[in-house]
Structure 1
């Protein structure tokens, strides 16, 4: 596999995971060091692979997550957020959670058809379907593939409740579907804003829309009658935590109907990728950042335990929670609530999707 420049990507490396005993990718020695030393290395281009799964609805039994099922139209995410907890999933494809996760993408073009079959099964019990829980449903390739839109078309047709979490103002493209869904009370959207500083956002989330576009999208959604929350997820101590109050104020000013925050998580291969990112972009405070994260995570880089993994623990967790609560009270931002109607659901009629 040719190695290209990683300029403009979130991850600064593309190492092979060790957890699955995968072979190191060697081409006449240490290929990464050798190739990057050469002049004129071409820019890495994004590739897309079509995936043909047998099912699309993922079940979740985690007691600290407010949904029990989700749909992910894509694997990998071109937004390139360095902290993304979904990065390790690329290792199952013998790909790196680093730059591969951002540039070797997988699409599921028949996602809506698979979901149609699931919703048609006798005895199916309706509950909100979460979208954007693993990778962003409105990442750049959605512009071409429109898989997220096809899923929403089905959910609106069947009056099935759903939630969307995204970092992209591309969600506004589907307002023609979201507005009738909102009128039925079956949709809720959360826009993630981690920083208002364009410079920080460019390195932290290099290919996601700029912060001001996300704030504008929150305003546009709520003005259109679509309930939209602001998600400060994640809060990165010593990097973005100083902006907590400003983000709450911006979200409230844009009409966000609620908000929440999550401290940064660094599971498995995300931790070394994040450390390398710190060394590249914030070498002056890298050790301080990691020390604070370890304080939040019980002395480790990641806490996988239910409940504490979402809120953190210790003095830093208490401080962030107190600051968020005070800012929310000051600017009138409510805690996010995703109560959606389930009683309107009508199973699909026939074997074909009427809107596709």
Structure 2
């Protein structure tokens, strides 16, 4: 089968046209062959990954997911296009029905999302992630939601109905100036902290609902010295804090790694990156000393549900 040709990114006749432009990104609609994909690598402890979209409007400079763009030109334009999986709701319903036919007494574990943000700006219009939650809540999988968007609080009414849920809020730095350098399109640090607080207050863990909250400081970006103590103390709202360093750098398509854009920005923060390992260890020491009653995990270990 011929590869799809995306309007604006192909020298051949386009087979997938731009449906609209939103917040500086080309939006495409495309049917997906599957929605639940076997989880591997960093999140291999789950049965499936679920990505409602392909691409991400946040376009963070360091994002490894750019490696999985449809073609090199789209990889270079990471953050400027999004593919909406327009048949996702129907596909998910069928796939969950199929799972339970084979595994009637074993709910699947699902990680949403591994290579996109389910609450990027297009979601406010598409409501695709919300529609998928409405399907999943009827099947009660073990669900982990990974996002950096406060938009997730919109769906508190549905999230309250899940029996096994972990919400991971990505906050890689406690300094807004650093955030603006590395991920200028992403929501602010205070907005994310406020969102995780609202979620924890609104979705209590009790005998019926096993709900957990993580803040993933991943990849660990610099936090200015004068902000470190204040930022770390705000992380007490979570049950778990996860930290990890940058992925190794790769320039080839379909190889996950830190993008060149982030490598260039890192030069501005020589005080941190000239000896990155020492900076990482010192920050972790502060986490250990200032946080009590909060799990602190590193890398892959931190992304499991339990």
**Normalised by the shorter chain, which TM-score bucket?**
0.7 to 0.9
Listed as ranges, the matches of 1:70-89 within 5 Å are 70-89=49-68
Q: Distance between the aligned counterparts of 1:248 and 1:118, measured in 2?
A: 41
Q: Structure 1, residues 283-304: CA drift from partner, whole Å, max 9, x if none? A: x739x83x646xxxxxxxxxxx
1:174 shift after superposition: 0.3
- Provide, for residues 304-354 of structure 1, a one-character-per-residue CA deviation record: whole Å limited to 9, x for no partner: xxxxxxxxxxxx27x6356425524532122468557xxxxxxxxxxxxxx
Q: Paired residue for 1:353? A: none
Q: Is residue 2:28 matched to residue 1:49?
A: yes
Secondary structure at 2:244 match in 1 = strand
User: Considering only CA atoms, is the larger Rg found in Structure 1 or Structure 2?
Assistant: 1
Q: What is the TM-score with the length of structure 1 in the denominator?
A: 0.66
1:119-134 to structure 2, matched below 5 A, reads 119-121=96-98, 122-124=101-103, 126-134=107-115
Q: C-alpha deviations, 1:231-266, integer Å up to 9, x for none? A: 101113xx34856654332111xx211111111114
> Does residue 1:228 correspond to 2:230, yes or no?
no
2:89 maps to: 112
Correspondence list, 1:1-356, <5 A = 45-62=24-41, 65-90=44-69, 92-98=70-76, 100-121=77-98, 122-124=101-103, 126-181=107-162, 184=163, 186-224=164-202, 225=204, 226-236=211-221, 239-240=222-223, 246-252=230-236, 255-269=237-251, 270-278=258-266, 282=268, 285=270, 289=273, 292=275, 316=277, 320-321=280-281, 323-324=283-284, 326-332=286-292, 333-335=294-296, 339=305
Distance change >3 Å, CA 244–CA 134, structure 1 → 2: farther
Identify, as 1 or 2, the structure richer in strand. 2
Q: Following TM superposition, by how much is the alpha carbon of 1:72 offset from its aligned partner in structure 2, in angstroms?
A: 0.4
| CA deviation map 1:35-93 (0-9, x unaligned) | xxxxxxxxx93110112111111112327744241100111111121010101111x33
Tell me, in whole angstroms, the C-alpha distance in 2 between the residues paired with 1:266 and 1:179: 38
Report the secondary structure of 1:235's partner residue. Answer: coil
Judged with a 3 Å threshold, the aligned counterparts in structure 2 of structure 1 residues 334 and 275 are, in CA distance, closer, same or farther, namely closer
Aligned residues: 264
After TM superposition, give the deviation of residue 149 of structure 1 in Å. 0.8
CA contact (8 A) 2:216 2:243 kept: yes
C-alpha distance in 2 between matches for 1:320 and 1:208 = 23
CA distance in 2, matches of 1:216, 1:63: 28
Return the alpha-carbon distance in structure 2 between the equivalents of residues 276 and 131 of structure 1: 30
Distance in 1 (alpha carbons) for counterparts of 2:233 and 2:114: 25
Structure 1 residues 111, 62: closer, same or farther in 2, change over 3 A? same
Structure 1 residue runs of 5 or longer lacking an equivalent are 1-24, 28-43, 294-315, 341-356
TM-score calculated relative to the size of structure 2 = 0.76
CA distance in 2, matches of 1:48, 1:219: 32
CA distance in 2, matches of 1:154, 1:191: 22
State the shift of 1:112 in Å.
2.1
Alpha carbons 1:73, 1:147 under 8 Å: kept: yes
Instruction: Give me the whole-angstrom Cα distance separating, in 2, the residues matched to 1:273 and 1:337.
Output: 25
On the 8 A contact 1:85/1:266 being kept in 2, the answer is no
> Could you list the per-position Cα deviations for residues 90-123 of structure 1 after superposition, in whole angstroms to 9, with x for gaps in the alignment?
1x3343323x210121111221211111111131
In structure 2, the CA distance between the partners of 1:330 and 1:66, relative to structure 1 (3 Å rule), is: farther
